[in-house]
Structure 1
Amino acid sequence: MSSVKVAVRVRPFNNRERSRECKCIIQMSGNTTAITNPKADPNTKDAQKSFNFDYSYWSHEEADPAFSSQIVVYKDIGEEMLQHSFDGYNVCIFAYGQTGAGKSYTMMGKQEDGQEGIIPQICKDLFNKIRNNSSPDIKYSVEVSYMEIYCERVRDLLNPKNKGNLRVREHPLLGPYVEDLSKLAVMSYQDIHDLIDEGNKARTVAATNMNETSSRLDETTQLCTEKVSKISLVDLAGSERADSTGAKGTRLKEGANINKSLTTLGKVISALAEIASKSKKSKKADFIPYRDSVLTWLLRENLGGNSKTAMIAAISPADINYDETLSTLRYADRAKQIVCKAIVNEDANAKLIRELKEEIQKLRELLKQEGIEVHEGPDGKVIYEKKEPPSKYLLEKQWLLAPITYISA
């Protein structure tokens, strides 16, 4: 079991904030992020609130020695999650925060050197690792899906012909999945890059899934085993409230659906955090509202299920965004309490045979210590051969003769 890794990243002022001469209300020291209330008396306890996270990324001023670049964020989070996927675990990285807080920049970035986000960097690194694999027994295959959840509907961005509402189904072992979602085989990073470009033409909010499969010959069982890991990279919609956006009509309805997803996500995170803090006896009665929105249903395994998960909370440094930023920090603070139960996704039969053979080998070693040799005969039958240990008299005789032989020499 492992907790959700949580990082917070603060961006530079945007043009709107500069024109309004906003003040920076975010301070970071090590892994601690502090926010100052611009309306509170500096001498009161409500003036500043502090939160501790796995990572606090200061990306406010590039000239600052403590500045965290795109590469720094990827090295801390992306590299670790990619390695987990090669070990056979499902992994998920999702970005959360208000519109314009820097989620898309962190996840996708820009098409310039050093400006690429987690998604392009993890895709490049994935194929670098596959290329550098020196074992002739291991073969890899990679499939990509690209979808968006918009107004509680799932759209396939890699299949323009399929404009309908894709259904979310439940697999008894693998959990929720999107029925008829395209899975396209890719051979290189350029393939993924081209698919993302195509999908971006139709997207509003995006989530990328990569299914990486590695198969190898298990030396213990002499069987071809397979590990399958799913890498989910999610760029969530903005988390601002309707009254702060000024949205009306259709936009207000769209915002209501987005808020439904994010409100449900908040409820799920809070419920999971509460369960993690309770005793084992009281956990059975708790209800997690995963099915209240399509987003949380699809993220079920990533939130408290079979996944290694990281959340990146993107925040604005400006005083005019204090309420939204504080809300994001509270979300992130609850998310770090969630405990996931990730397991290696490998062939169950090969795993069982390997474990049984390992157990047999241990038992043979124990019998050998007792003087019993175990081996297989030509007809496949197991033969037990008991070897008598040397007698005490013989050992004593050898010990007495040793010094005599030494003197005569």
Structure 2
Amino acid sequence: MEEYRIANPALADQGKIKIAWAWSFMPVLKLLQEKFKPERSLNGVKIAACLHLEAKTACLLRALKALGAEVMAAGSNPLSTQDDICAALVANGIRVYSWHGMTMDEYYGNLHALLAWSPQILIDDGGDLVTLIHKERSDLLPYIKGGCEETTTGIKRLKAMSNEGILAFPMLAVNDALSKHLFDNRYGTGQSVWDAICRLTNMLIAGKEVVVCGYGWCGRGVASRASGLGAQVTIVESDPHRALEAYMDGFNVTDMATAARTGDIFVTTTGNINVIRKEHFALMKNGAILANAGHFDVEISCIDLSEIAAKKSVTRPGVTTYTTHDGRSLHLLVEGRLVNLAGGDGHPIEIMDLSFALQLLSVLYIHENDLEPGLYPVPYEIDRAVASYKLEALGIKLEGMTPEQEQYLGRWEE
């Protein structure tokens, strides 16, 4: 079996510098590593991770190794993999199978290389690893104790598998933990999406008409940050409660056909397929920018874009311009892939400190407990502990309740 597949091992020193910077801003993950390292709590456990391979993820993988685990990793997105980070991880004794710009065949080939080591615990991002095991490597099921999933899209897939009764091992829904989705999905996505769009386009956001498709936690964050940058924001939503919430948060709310006529920048955050498609492209103004903040590159129909285009060209790194037969230019960012990671550095370090602390504690929980197959929430005590550790690191004190107050909350009589 191959120990690793990466682009260039000589990039390790460059990657180590980036990892050291991230580690210096991850106090919670650092605290957990220091707490559990003496026990070697994961000694000999084989952990396979399919994640975005960048500096913050490297900190999690190295922390797991410090706890004694045998760690192997593959990139969860061909454009988010950073080759210098992969090289640094390999130099640290972690098996890595990924490189920037993989084809989809190479991507799945790397997942198979990862699984050749018969992992016991999985850390997935989007559900591809879990799905592949169930579809093509069911021989591994007896060895797998469980795993964790950290994305909205991945949780949707796991719920569907669980509802059909085919999920063959326990998975913790890390994405649904309060310490994850309240901060990672909202503040992390909100900031990192606009960071990536600004990097890719070098355009001003103030004054632009921004259309955000979807008003879940990610959509809330993207819309809030767009408004803070001075944009006029319109929300497109299919759920009546979320649409009403967006309206009461001060945003314009309408359908896609209406929004398509006025938008300057479109951002999809739904996790669904073909959210922006041919009939919408036909209505857009010249110069519209299209970005996807969902996990998979299915929300903006690239097939439809190609069909309506008379010409397609790369007009700036990470920007593909489709020129329509009537002379309009529509600009698609990073091939419609996850814009904040394919076009930027992903979520801020301090946000991923929370998410990866949850991942580490969830891995320990899976290792230490025998659970039946199914999808489980992260235990509340783990979720609360991560938030408490973060507040402690920030020097923020909580107000404690008096015995009288605790007693009062437990009474039904005044």
Into which bin does the TM-score normalised by the smaller protein fall? under 0.3
If each structure's helix is expressed as a fraction of its own residues, which one has the higher value? 2
Larger proportion of strand: 1
> Structure 2 length normalisation: TM-score?
0.25
Q: TM-score, normalising length from structure 1?
A: 0.25
